[in-house]
Amino acid sequence: MPAPRIGGAGARRKRGRLSRSGDFDRVYRQGRSTGAREFVVHVFPREASLDPPRVGLSVSKKVGDAVTRNRIKRVVRESLQVLEAELAAGSDLVITARVDAVALDEREGQAGIERALRDLLSRTSAWAGAPLDAAAPDASAADTTGAEAAPESSATAAGEVDPADPAAASPAEDAPDA
């Protein structure tokens, strides 16, 4: 059986997008998600499929007006075209843009969006490219220090207090009753 063609001259190509609400629901409900400051990626592997990955985009009105939302979608699509060769065949993805994606686009442009998506997608089952640690040995040293600091910052962000730390007492406990 010949290998499926992905592109090339004269090849008729599907758009590679999720378009039906049932497809989105399946990815949201049965897939796995990974999030970052700018994006959340939901991944659902299709069974034994060699088809190219299908991607759906979700950009809510919280992100901005219609012009801003359409710009984010366009820049994400352009970044995904660059990253498409590194995505595993047979996966469905839904990428949800968060409000910070706009700031990233304004600050770093498409290169920043592409970097953020590459970092996020490399942590999912949809990534078939080279591991990012092997590509950048300096990044692995930075990741280990960042990984050690993450639990402290997430516990603080969640409002958890270490009972053994007297300096971490809640200010509400010290406030006089009115």
pLDDT in tens, 73-93: 999 999 999 998 898 888 899
The burial class, CB within 10 Å (0-12 / 13-18 / 19+), for 104 is: buried
The reported pLDDT for the residue numbered 172 is 45
Q: Given a cut of 70, is residue 47 above it in pLDDT?
A: yes
In a domain, 136, yes or no: no
CATH of the domain at 92: 3.30.230.10
Average pLDDT for the chain: 75
The reported pLDDT for the residue numbered 46 is 84
Look at the chain and report how many structural domains it folds into: 1
Output the six-digit token pair for 78: 């352009």
In a domain, 107, yes or no: yes
In a domain, 112, yes or no: yes
Range of the domain at 92: 14-130
In a domain, 149, yes or no: no
In a domain, 106, yes or no: yes
Cα(147)–Cα(158) distance, integer angstroms: 17
Cα(100)–Cα(98) distance, integer angstroms: 5
The reported pLDDT for the residue numbered 14 is 59
Its pTM stands at 0.65
In a domain, 89, yes or no: yes
pLDDT in tens, 101-122: 999 999 999 999 999 999 999 9
Helix (H) or strand (E) holding 96: strand 91-97
Q: Given a cut of 80, is residue 27 above it in pLDDT?
A: yes
In a domain, 117, yes or no: yes
pLDDT in tens, 117-149: 999 999 988 888 767 654 444 443 334 333 333
The reported pLDDT for the residue numbered 62 is 95
The reported pLDDT for the residue numbered 166 is 47
Q: Which residue type occupies 152?
A: E
In a domain, 101, yes or no: yes
Q: What integer is the mean pLDDT of 4-16?
A: 53
